[in-house]
């Protein structure tokens, strides 16, 4: 299993914020976030898998505060980060079978990504919040 911690996505990448932001500014922020996530993948030692088999991607969102957030918007916000992961792994992101969960808030926020082979018998560990 591969585990990498990505930075929390900028608020401007949330689909609800897209209405208030010029598309060019949003594209610049997405490009910067993708670059930052690429560096996080490199720092975690993520290497190319060169596989055509489906991969389980477990995303645990650790928000920067206790503010309520829609899980589907959190997934949309991290699209550029998943693109960076896909590039680092050397696989098409259409092979990703994604599970989402919420973790406890952490300072600055983060997204913990766990990658495993879909043929493994268990889903990636994801802490749950009561």
Q: How confident is the model at residue 126 (pLDDT cuts 50, 70, 90)?
A: low
Global pTM reads 0.85
d(CA 122, CA 73): 26
CATH number of the domain at 44, please: 3.30.1330.70
Please count the structural domains in the chain. Answer: 1
Q: What pLDDT digit, counting tens, does each position of 42-97 carry? A: 999 999 988 889 999 999 999 999 999 999 999 999 999 999 999 999 999 999 99
Within a domain: residue 124?
no
User: Within 13 Å of residue 48, how many CA atoms lie on the same side as its CB?
Assistant: 5
Q: What separation in angstroms does the CA of 63 have from each of 10, 19, 114? A: 11, 22, 17
Length reported for the chain: 130
Within a domain: residue 9?
yes
Q: Tell me which residue range forms the domain holding 101.
A: 2-117
d(CA 9, CA 110): 8
């Amino acid at each position: 299993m591969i585990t990498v911690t990505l930075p929390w996505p900028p608020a401007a990448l949330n689909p609800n914020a897209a209405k208030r932001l010029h598309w060019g500014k949003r594209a610049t922020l997405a490009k910067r976030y993708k670059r930052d996530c690429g560096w996080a993948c490199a720092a975690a030692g993520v290497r190319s898998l060169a596989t055509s088999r489906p991969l389980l991607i477990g995303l645990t969102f650790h928000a920067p505060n206790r503010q309520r957030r829609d899980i589907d918007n959190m997934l949309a916000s991290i699209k550029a980060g998943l693109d960076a992961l896909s590039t680092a792994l050397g696989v098409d992101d259409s092979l990703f079978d994604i599970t989402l969960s919420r973790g406890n808030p952490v300072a600055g926020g983060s997204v913990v990504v766990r990658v495993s082979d879909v043929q493994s018998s268990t889903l990636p560990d994801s802490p749950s919040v009561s």
